[in-house]
Amino acid sequence: MRTLTPYMTNRRPFATDLFDEVERMFESFATSANTNSERSFTPAFEVSETEDHYLLGVDLPGIKKEDLKIELNDNVLSISGERKRGNSAESFTKRFTLPKTVDVEKIEANYEDGVLNMYLPKAAAAKPRSIEIQSKSGGFFEKLIGSKKVGEDTSSTNSAH
């Protein structure tokens, strides 16, 4: 046997359904308005490398310098900002993991005409260099072995002690 639920119990079905529908419409409108007013975008960027530094260029048209933020945390460079247009705004965050070779204390940033340029110098130890091969005595090796030549018997000086 089936159980029947009463169809009308102290309510007007059409009025309630209409009210619910209008309420859903306004909620949906408010939700879409919020997402449209706070959109995100991904700026174009370019990275180049030379022997002693990296250059990072980020295109940020329409963004004011005071609406940009650059942070560095554990070799992760974060660039974020917001572009405001009327009642809406577009924001972005771009993160770059920097190579360990970057000298983070000497990073420089410049912002002009909607383009952020960053200079990321390499640490001195990371730069390639030539090593001179010494043929005459001198430098560290002379201090290390004295005036003795490599392979020379040093037992006579050690046995006197």
CA 75 from centroid of its chain's CA atoms: 8
Q: Which fold has domain 38-126?
A: Immunoglobulin-like (2.60.40)
| Domain range annotation of the chain | 38-126
pTM, rounded to two decimals: 0.56
d(CA 47, CA 64): 22
pLDDT in tens, 50-93: 989 999 999 999 899 999 999 999 999 999 999 888 888 899 99
**What does the DSSP assignment read for 52-76?**
SEEEEEEE-TT--GGGEEEEEETTE
pLDDT in tens, 12-44: 444 445 556 656 655 555 444 444 456 888 899
